[in-house]
Amino acid sequence: MAPLTLVTGASRGIGAACVLALARAGHDLVVNYSRDAAAAASVAEQVRALGRRALVVQADVADEAAVLAMFARIDAELGPLTGLVNNAGIVAMKARLDEMDVARWQRMWAVNLTGSLLCAREAVRRMSTRHGGNGGAIVNLSSAAAKLGAPANYIDYAASKGAIDTFTLGLARELAAEGVRVNAVRPGIIDTDIHASGGDPDRARQSAGLIPMGRAGSADEVAAAILWLLSDASSYTTGSVVDVTGGR
Ligand code: NAP
**Residue at 124: amino acid letter:** V
pLDDT single digits (tens) 151-179: 999 999 999 999 999 999 999 999 999 99
Residue 13 CA to ligand 1 center (angstroms) comes to: 7
pTM, to two decimals = 0.98
pLDDT single digits (tens) 37-78: 999 999 999 999 999 999 999 999 999 999 999 999 999 999
Of the candidates 32, 35, 156, which has an alpha carbon nearest to the alpha carbon of residue 91?
156
Residue 85 CA to ligand 1 center (angstroms) comes to: 12
Residue 2 CA to ligand 1 center (angstroms) comes to: 26
| Planar angle of CA 66, 68, 73, nearest 5 degrees | 95
Taking 90 as the threshold, does the pLDDT of residue 18 lie above it? Answer: yes
The whole-chain average pLDDT of the chain stands at 97
Residue 107 CA to ligand 1 center (angstroms) comes to: 14
Question: What pLDDT, on a 0 to 100 scale, did the predictor assign at position 39?
Answer: 98
Q: Is ligand 1 within 6 A of the CB of residue 124?
A: no
- Residues facing residue 224 across a β-bridge: none
Helix spans in the chain (H): 13-24, 37-49, 64-77, 102-108, 115-127, 145-148, 155-175, 194-197, 203-206, 219-230
Question: What pLDDT, on a 0 to 100 scale, did the predictor assign at position 217?
Answer: 98
* 3-state SS, residue 30: strand
Confidence band (pLDDT; 50, 70, 90) for 28? very high
Confidence band (pLDDT; 50, 70, 90) for 1? confident
Contacts of 57 (CB under 8 A, 6+ apart): 30, 31, 32, 70, 73, 74
Confidence band (pLDDT; 50, 70, 90) for 79? confident
Report the nearest atom of ligand 1 relative to the CA of 86.
Answer: 32
Q: Is ligand 1 within 6 A of the CB of residue 207?
A: no
Q: 123-132, 202-211, 220-229: lowest mean pLDDT where?
A: 202-211
Q: Is ligand 1 within 6 A of the CB of residue 88?
A: yes
Q: Is ligand 1 within 6 A of the CB of residue 197?
A: yes
Q: Is ligand 1 within 6 A of the CB of residue 192?
A: yes
Would you name the residues annotated as active-site residues? 157
Report the nearest atom of ligand 1 relative to the CA of 196.
Answer: 3
10 Å Cβ neighbour count for 121?
A: 13
Taking 90 as the threshold, does the pLDDT of residue 231 lie above it? Answer: yes
Question: To which H or E segment does residue 183 belong?
Answer: strand 180-187
User: For a pLDDT cut of 90, what percent of the chain falls above it?
Assistant: 97
Residue 246 CA to ligand 1 center (angstroms) comes to: 20
d(CA 71, CA 49) in angstroms, rounded, equals: 24
Higher-scoring residue by pLDDT: 199, 231 = 231
* 3-state SS, residue 93: coil
Report the nearest atom of ligand 1 relative to the CA of 193.
Answer: 2
Domains by residue range for the chain, with CATH:
4-244 (3.40.50.720)
Q: How far is CA 61 from CA 51, 65, 113, in A?
A: 28, 9, 10
Q: 96-100, 206-210, 236-240: lowest mean pLDDT where?
A: 206-210
d(CA 46, CA 24) in angstroms, rounded, equals: 10
Question: What pLDDT, on a 0 to 100 scale, did the predictor assign at position 73?
Answer: 98
Question: What pLDDT, on a 0 to 100 scale, did the predictor assign at position 117?
Answer: 98
80 cis-preceded (ω within 30 degrees of 0) = yes
User: For a pLDDT cut of 70, what percent of the chain falls above it?
Assistant: 100
**Arithmetic mean of pLDDT, 141-159:** 97
Q: Is ligand 1 within 6 A of the CB of residue 13?
A: yes
**Arithmetic mean of pLDDT, 128-153:** 98
* 3-state SS, residue 223: helix
